Structure 1
Amino acid sequence: MNLSKASCFLHNFIFRAARAAACVLPGGRMVAFGTRDDQIGAILVVNLTRQPRRWRRVIRELRRFRMADGSPLTSIVNRFAAIDARDGRAIAATADVDPNYRIGDQLYVQPDKRLAECFSANEPVMMTRQETAVARSHIEVWKSIAKGPHKFVLVLEDDIWFRRGAAAAVDSGWQAALQRCRIEGGPRLLYLSYSDAGGTAERADVCDALFRPVRGLWFLSGYVLSKEGAVALLKAMPVIGPVDMWINYRFDELQALALSTPSILQRHDSGSDNSYSVLPFLARAGIVDAGSGDMPSNRIRVEPLLAWTKLGERDGLAMALSMLGLRVRVFDGHENQIDAAELSSLFDEFDALVDPPLSRRALSAALANADLKFVFEPDAPKRVGINLDDIPAPRTAVLSLDCTTIERWEPLCTFLGLAEPVEAFPLGASRSLRVFRDDRPYVERKSGPAPKKSINLIDDSPWVLPPHPDWPLRPQGARRHERSGSRIIHADMSSASPELPSVVETFPGNLATFAHETITYQDSGANISISVAEAGLRPYRSGAFASRRSFEQGRFEAGIRAARGSGLVTGFFLHRSDPRQEIDVELAGGDPRRMLVNVYFNPGDDGSNMSFGYRGTPCHIDLGFDSTLDIHMYAIDWQPGRIVWSVDGKVVHERVGWDPTPIPHLPMRLHANLWAPRSEKLAGQVDKATLPSTAAFRNISVFGTMDDRQRSPYMAPQLVDLNEP
């Protein structure tokens, strides 16, 4: 049992019970609310239509209080429908919001030396769809206030609660705000709820009840905005970046005020599907140690699905079904026909089959199966010889390709009974990349007795099949793997390489920070040393390289001598985020005669926020030598539909589609590092007596094709927890 999850559940249960008890007790009278010009005349609660439970919770909180005249505070409450990030049309490009901001904007609100050292102030960041939806929601509220009849309005998000003594604190703060702003006719913006940005908020004109913020407040979960303040915010648009960040730049012109202590807090038991664009940068700078590796809460369970497409150049429908959480297998049409018995067995592993070459009997059996659903792109029924009149309408959907990508989720998700994702409908991978093809050799390939091997726990997700009893197969014979393609990068690592610069970032689950000084160069190559850190949040200092460019397949090789010592991992791998995909070679210093290989796959086009998985699909490979004693040549050959790992030119492991994951299909960067996992189950406990310890790298080469697009910089591998459930 995961004790941290159990503790979190218990904590949330206690919190909910406490709030339920508090909500039956009167909260008192708030004289700040009323019908006079110097009182707050209305409350707007920003609430998603699909979150009625949150609306009810807010009403229970507000029901405890009364206004100056004794009327219930709920008598002036109105629900304001929030913009839903799942509605692509609602968050489409608009003049109101500019989603592109800079790391410097984050540093303005919350200065942090570690973030400033890792990234230029001009480092670009793009808002997530959820952040855009939040910004649009508040903008629409401001428009409503600017046009409305009330001089002052309290704006609340739907995940708040009132702390003890809130009535007195709000009244005291409101009177102090009126006194300070008597010439202006009252405050333009008053924070009742906020989070001090890491304790760095600059406060001016402080008194017992409130202060004037210069910068440094997060959240817009509870604030009083005047009609004049709303007009000023609308004139200052577009909102650039997350709205609670952007509004810090408006504090001076609004003469913003904030209660000395927040009277309204955010609930921590509500859960959230929000996604924060700056979080990966904070993780890479070592400021937060929380990754995005959680698994989907539940495997999607839908009726078995058969789909036929127009056989275009891209697997858009298959990618969309995979993003919805279905296990999808795609066929190209040249496979042997599938009979009725095989069709039934295929649905034991997969939820959806796309373009399956069904025999006549299999097709008849499918049409007769009341549990099967059918999805078609235009003209596909005619191509496969299906008369739509033979299938009951509730079991059939014909998708239009004429609508925009924003609109394409709705008919598919409605038909399947699934929620629409916040991500854009995908174009899909090129068919030539063979994503979602099942190329496993277990049926055709017969070998001798299964070799002794180590199989670790793997992720349970829609994008990982339960491993076959014969997995992983041992390569036949002592087969050598020859290079192919032209060499596009070579660095002997005797000096700093412009193609593979060192980086100063880190990642969740790593006990070490990375620094340039930990890397030394000699004629024999580069050495990365890990040692005990003299200061800092993490106990060790080490180093890493990362390629400047991303690569679309190719062969990646390096001469490596792994660092010796328990708790240390020498890594050589390909990685990308959004969606997260990864191909690993990892050498544990406490288990030097084995190599860990791993693959992570998440579906989606470039930019899709799909980053599930915390174990991946790891397995150990016996090397037959001690990897910490000498340099050996390790290679990853990543091609459409296949990955081959080799050591000293000999194949030691290979994978194809759905073995047990689809093969990553998007450009990735090449990385090399020496790190210390937080989890002792991966590499053991760090033995400080062995430190400093050194890993050596030389003759790093890339063969094949290259994608010159500059993508997000260094992101190291997620922690591979081999045993944690």
Structure 2
Amino acid sequence: MNLREGFGSLRGVSFRVALAARRLLPPKSIHAFGPGDDQIGAILAINLDRQPGRWRWLQQELGRFRAQGGRRLSQLVERLPAIDARDGRETAPTADVDPIYTMGDQLFVQPDARLEECFGRDQAIRMSRQEIAVARSHVEAWKRIARGPHKYVLVLEDDVYFVHGAHRLIDQGWRAALQGLGPDEGPHLLYLSYLDAGGTAERADVTANLFRPIRGLWYFSGYVLSRSGAERLLRMMPVVGPVDLWINHRFGDLRVLALSKSALLQRGDGGSDNAYSILPYLARSGTVDAGPSPVGPTAGGRGLVLAWNAPGATDVMGMALSTLGYRVRTFPAEAPSNRLATMLESEGLFDAYVDANLGDAAIEELVRQRPDARFVIGATSQSSDHPATPDRVHRSLPVARSAVVPMDALAGNPWEPLSHLLALPVPDHAFPRGVSHGIGVFRAEEANLARKTDRLGTNKIDESPWVLPPTAWRPRQDVSATSARACEFTPCLNVDLTSHSAAFRALTETFPGNMATFEPTGIEHSAEGASFALRKSASGVRPLSSGALASTDSFTYGRFEAEIRPARGSGLVTGFFLHRDLPRQEIDVELLGSRPNRMLANVYFNPGDEGTAIAYGYRGTPHEIDLGFDATADFHTYAVEWTPGSIHWLVDGRIVHVRSRWDPTPIPHLPMRLHANLWSPRSVELAGQLDDDTLPAHSAFRRIAVQTLDRVSEICGDSADPCSEHLGHEGLLEPAEQQPSTRQPAQ
């Protein structure tokens, strides 16, 4: 067991034991609760239907206290079903919640010079589905209070508990609120629980028991709301951004008070279910260091899954099963009928197969011989059966082991029948639209599956579900045999970096694991190109500062080339790479200052449509390449050729490394920006220990060129690959989904 996890578990047990012991004590009285007009007459508890344990626990916690007159608070509470982030219909934009807010909204609550410098106040941020669900749940509580009989109601989220002495804090604060404002002019909103925003909260009219907040309170998990306050909030809607952020902007329009000390806190024995939309920006600015990403879902090993897409659809099933954590192998529609035994030879590498063109007898045999097998059939209103599953066989599939997943927008949440069949939680993110069959993201070339070894001759790789096991992959050794490629690229950018170019922007940010922040002052343009300087920093955000560039546009497939002279020295990495977030995908060239004759090639893959919050990869699939020369001595040309079927890394025009589909990951398929930087990793294993005597260190980029991929022949993809029809600067899309091109003229 991880010691950190072990101690976390012990703390959780200790917390629960302490709370359970408190229930053995006589109940405390809180006179602020009662039937009078000047008392809190009811409690609304927001609780998800799928979390009954939390509801029972909260009732027990409320049972520790009595209202004036002797009734326990558990007798005053009413459960309000929370909006579930897993229901796409409930988290769709409504008149109640606007999911787009700005960095300026965030900075109003908690000023942060670094955030503002990195992104500007106009940076748009989209709320997570969980944040939308939380906001809508609170809005439903306000509606209930506005039309209800009680003048004052306590609103609780179901993960709070009462701190020691909470009864005194609440009573003293409530009396002070009514004395200061009068019973007829009581507070619209009284915070019983909050978190000071980084110690920056502005307070007015501070007393021993209360203060009036001007701005700067996070959390909205325990508050008293008056009926008139609820009516006012409803007139101010929509909620723009996370509800605890938005309410700060309304303080001037309401009579808002807060206890001098929180009487309620969130439980310490479980993590939050929320996903915070601001976190990626905090990590990029260096305000927080998120550390390594968590390990991905591990649906694999639960048994064999066979799935078929609805006719004419994109590869929805492959993407959906991959998002659930399965290693998915798909088959092209034109492939000949697959013998069952041949298909399952790769079992152990893959646990889900999509669009396998099996005959009736093979499917019947699989039903008989594999009781662990599950069958998933995509359907639309236009088609009840799939050609690969004839009507007779379709009807004979065991009901308990099969599911029909509707693809129509109005047919409900497709995750529900799929997750129920596979005994997995319903994901919080939207069901994927899928990707063109021609791209073949999850297709596997037989040659790759045959290249197995018992010993991995490369660095550690991810244990995430979208990477083949280390015992199933080793880097290609025959890269010279792949030099006869027939890809056709069209020039898009050819940037001389001796001066500033509008095609690239200087970054003001960082990322977890990087000891340096990127600053525009870390870049100088000269006759040798753009020079990045890594030096000690006095900012305090990170101990070092450096320079980085990122392309203004995003690209999907093409040839990306740079003339680079990397920095020399332990602890230094010069990077040239394609990268995106939501989901995270990346193709890397990393030049190691500690081993100047080595280059690191790397790929990160996470599944999903654009916007899916999956970023589990944290090591990728790195492979070191012996360059045969000291890269830091002079400029050399490094290139990446990225196509739907393969990635080629080239140095001075010579192929040095190749990856194909499932070799050992799927090929990234979404638009990415092109980056260049100099950084210092925390990982000594990756780049060695930084030697301060080598600072400042410099790397130089003289030229960057981009060519987009316009046509793909048999060697680059499939003979049936439709790339030549639909591939452009913004990627491989079905004709109806084609986005406007952002191609720039060559420079």
**TM-score, structure 2 normalization:** 0.90
Partner of 2:76: 76
Partner of 2:730: 707
Question: Once the two structures are superposed, what CA deviation does each residue of 1:273-315 show, in whole Å capped at 9, x if it has no partner?
Answer: 3111111111111111115721125444433121222442521
Q: 588-597 or 186-195, which moves further after superposition?
A: 588-597
Q: Aligned in 2, Cα 1:401/1:478: closer, same or farther, shift over 3 Å?
A: closer
Question: Once the two structures are superposed, what CA deviation does each residue of 1:195-235 show, in whole Å capped at 9, x if it has no partner?
Answer: 11111111000000010001111111110001111111011
Q: Aligned in 2, Cα 1:201/1:430: closer, same or farther, shift over 3 Å?
A: same
Deviation, 1:679, is 2.3
* SS, match of residue 529 in structure 1: strand
Q: 359-368 or 680-689, which moves further after superposition?
A: 359-368
Deviation, 1:253, is 1.7
**Contact in 1 for aligned 2:360/2:390 (Cα 8 Å):** no
Cα RMSD (Å): 2.3
Q: Aligned in 2, Cα 1:3/1:623: closer, same or farther, shift over 3 Å?
A: farther
Equivalent AA in structure 2 for residue 373 of structure 1: R
Question: Once the two structures are superposed, what CA deviation does each residue of 1:506-548 show, in whole Å capped at 9, x if it has no partner?
Answer: 1111111111111111112111010111332211011100011
**Contact in 1 for aligned 2:448/2:660 (Cα 8 Å):** no
Partner of 2:468: 465
Partner of 2:503: 499
Partner of 1:602: 606
Q: Aligned in 2, Cα 1:626/1:268: closer, same or farther, shift over 3 Å?
A: farther
1:435 and 2:441 correspond: yes
Q: Aligned in 2, Cα 1:445/1:157: closer, same or farther, shift over 3 Å?
A: closer
Question: Once the two structures are superposed, what CA deviation does each residue of 1:558-581 show, in whole Å capped at 9, x if it has no partner?
Answer: 111111111111111111111111
Deviation, 1:556, is 0.6
Structural mapping, 1:155-194, within 5 Å: 155-182=155-182, 184-194=184-194
Partner of 1:414: 420
1:308 and 2:301 correspond: no
Measure, in 1, the Cα distance between the counterparts of 2:411 and 2:508: 39
Q: 147-156 or 360-369, which moves further after superposition?
A: 360-369
Partner of 2:106: 106
Structure 1: gaps of 5 or more residues:
712-725
Deviation, 1:70, is 2.6
Partner of 2:332: 332
Q: Aligned in 2, Cα 1:28/1:339: closer, same or farther, shift over 3 Å?
A: same
Question: Once the two structures are superposed, what CA deviation does each residue of 1:33-87 show, in whole Å capped at 9, x if it has no partner?
Answer: 1111111111111111111222222223222212122322211112211110001
**Contact in 2 for aligned 1:330/1:354 (Cα 8 Å):** yes
1:59 and 2:64 correspond: no
Partner of 2:659: 655
Q: 23-32 or 322-331, which moves further after superposition?
A: 23-32
* SS, match of residue 342 in structure 1: helix
Question: Once the two structures are superposed, what CA deviation does each residue of 1:313-339 show, in whole Å capped at 9, x if it has no partner?
Answer: 521121112112222111003445432
Partner of 2:390: 385
**Contact in 2 for aligned 1:479/1:650 (Cα 8 Å):** no
Measure, in 2, the Cα distance between the counterparts of 1:564 and 1:454: 25
Equivalent AA in structure 2 for residue 651 of structure 1: I
Q: 277-286 or 400-409, which moves further after superposition?
A: 400-409
* SS, match of residue 659 in structure 1: coil
Measure, in 2, the Cα distance between the counterparts of 1:379 and 1:174: 62
Q: Aligned in 2, Cα 1:404/1:636: closer, same or farther, shift over 3 Å?
A: farther
Measure, in 2, the Cα distance between the counterparts of 1:120 and 1:502: 14
Equivalent AA in structure 2 for residue 542 of structure 1: S
* SS, match of residue 437 in structure 1: coil
Partner of 1:126: 126
Task: Identify the match of residue 399 of structure 1 among 405, 408, 417.
Answer: 405
Measure, in 2, the Cα distance between the counterparts of 1:260 and 1:251: 17
Structural mapping, 1:3-402, within 5 Å: 3-26=3-26, 28-182=28-182, 184-290=184-290, 293-296=293-296, 298-312=298-312, 314-358=314-358, 362-369=362-369, 370-377=371-378, 378-385=383-390, 387=392, 388-402=394-408
Question: Once the two structures are superposed, what CA deviation does each residue of 1:262-282 show, in whole Å capped at 9, x if it has no partner?
Answer: 111112322223111111111
Q: 375-384 or 553-562, which moves further after superposition?
A: 375-384
Question: Once the two structures are superposed, what CA deviation does each residue of 1:408-429 show, in whole Å capped at 9, x if it has no partner?
Answer: 2222223333222121111111
* SS, match of residue 272 in structure 1: coil
**Contact in 1 for aligned 2:562/2:704 (Cα 8 Å):** yes
Deviation, 1:383, is 4.7
Question: Once the two structures are superposed, what CA deviation does each residue of 1:591-648 show, in whole Å capped at 9, x if it has no partner?
Answer: 2222111111111111111111211111212221222222111111110121111111
Structural mapping, 1:608-627, within 5 Å: 608-627=612-631
1:693 and 2:716 correspond: no
Deviation, 1:359, is 5.2
Measure, in 2, the Cα distance between the counterparts of 1:174 and 1:638: 64
Measure, in 2, the Cα distance between the counterparts of 1:413 and 1:118: 40
* SS, match of residue 15 in structure 1: helix
Measure, in 2, the Cα distance between the counterparts of 1:642 and 1:279: 33
**How many correspondences in the alignment?**
708
Deviation, 1:469, is 5.1
Deviation, 1:376, is 2.0
Equivalent AA in structure 1 for residue 275 of structure 2: S
Partner of 2:671: 667
Q: Aligned in 2, Cα 1:405/1:706: closer, same or farther, shift over 3 Å?
A: farther
Measure, in 2, the Cα distance between the counterparts of 1:430 and 1:392: 30
Measure, in 2, the Cα distance between the counterparts of 1:176 and 1:358: 75
Question: Once the two structures are superposed, what CA deviation does each residue of 1:10-44 show, in whole Å capped at 9, x if it has no partner?
Answer: 33333333333333334521111111111111111
Partner of 2:584: 580
Q: Aligned in 2, Cα 1:129/1:573: closer, same or farther, shift over 3 Å?
A: same
**Contact in 1 for aligned 2:584/2:606 (Cα 8 Å):** yes
Equivalent AA in structure 2 for residue 456 of structure 1: N
Partner of 1:720: none
Measure, in 2, the Cα distance between the counterparts of 1:7 and 1:88: 37
Q: 207-216 or 604-613, which moves further after superposition?
A: 604-613
Measure, in 2, the Cα distance between the counterparts of 1:311 and 1:621: 44
**TM-score, structure 1 normalization:** 0.93
Q: 293-302 or 638-647, which moves further after superposition?
A: 293-302
**Contact in 2 for aligned 1:98/1:241 (Cα 8 Å):** yes
* SS, match of residue 338 in structure 1: coil
**Contact in 1 for aligned 2:473/2:664 (Cα 8 Å):** no
Measure, in 1, the Cα distance between the counterparts of 2:74 and 2:455: 69
Deviation, 1:479, is 6.3
Q: Aligned in 2, Cα 1:443/1:82: closer, same or farther, shift over 3 Å?
A: closer
Q: Aligned in 2, Cα 1:630/1:405: closer, same or farther, shift over 3 Å?
A: farther
Q: 489-498 or 336-345, which moves further after superposition?
A: 336-345
**Contact in 2 for aligned 1:318/1:330 (Cα 8 Å):** yes
**Contact in 2 for aligned 1:440/1:657 (Cα 8 Å):** no
Deviation, 1:699, is 1.2
Deviation, 1:188, is 1.0
Measure, in 2, the Cα distance between the counterparts of 1:609 and 1:539: 29
**Contact in 1 for aligned 2:297/2:324 (Cα 8 Å):** no
**Contact in 2 for aligned 1:550/1:710 (Cα 8 Å):** no
Measure, in 1, the Cα distance between the counterparts of 2:508 and 2:448: 44
Q: Aligned in 2, Cα 1:617/1:445: closer, same or farther, shift over 3 Å?
A: closer
Question: Once the two structures are superposed, what CA deviation does each residue of 1:390-418 show, in whole Å capped at 9, x if it has no partner?
Answer: 32222232333334375322222233332
Partner of 2:569: 565
Deviation, 1:379, is 4.9
